[in-house]
Amino acid sequence: MPGVKGAVFVDLLIHIMDLSHPDLLAQRDNVLETLHNLKINQNLINNIINVGNKLDKCDAERKEKLKECGIFTSENSSNNLFAISCRTLEGLPELIKQIDKKVKILSGGFNSST
């Protein structure tokens, strides 16, 4: 799993998943298990930014299946997942705002309650 071992030295985790992949849930669970096995700080795992890419490849049936699995609750949002398309740029502004907010919190330049 390339890149995951480097997670030991980070302040913010961004996990990018392929929403169109049939084994999305298994892949997500595998990444989380690997992070736990690497003894990554639980607070870091709890604050991970999950990104679902390739939203443009998901037809209505696939989106409905993702909703049923709890991956996301509406077309572009979830409690902890940002559904995006790098091809169409859909969802990117919201993701950038969230990353910016987390970086400001980590650097002490932003109040998390705002």
- pLDDT tens digit string along 51-103? 999 999 999 999 888 888 877 665 444 456 899 999 999 999 999 999 999 99
What one-letter code names the amino acid at 49? I
Residue 28 domain flag: yes
- Per-residue model confidence as pLDDT tens digits over 15-63: 999 999 999 989 989 999 999 999 998 888 888 999 999 999 999 999 8
Residue 111 domain flag: no
Residue 65 domain flag: yes
Domain of residue 13, residue span: 4-106
Residue 49 pLDDT: 92
Residue 114 domain flag: no
Residue 112 domain flag: no
CATH of the domain at 34: 3.40.50.300
Residue 78 domain flag: yes
Residue 20 domain flag: yes
Average pLDDT of the chain is 84
Total tally of structural domains belonging to the chain: 1
CA angle 39, 25, 11 (to 5 degrees): 35
Distances (CA, A) of 33 to 4, 16, 18, 114: 11, 15, 18, 32
Residue 10 domain flag: yes
Distances (CA, A) of 93 to 20, 71, 75: 21, 20, 15
Residue 78 pLDDT: 47
Q: Tokens 């037809």 appear where?
A: 59
90-103 per-residue burial string, b: 16 or more CB within 10 A, e: under 16 = ebeeebeeeeeebe
Global confidence as pTM: 0.78
Residue 76 pLDDT: 46
Percentage with pLDDT > 90 across the chain: 50
Name which of 64, 85, 69 is nearest 24 in CA terms. Answer: 69
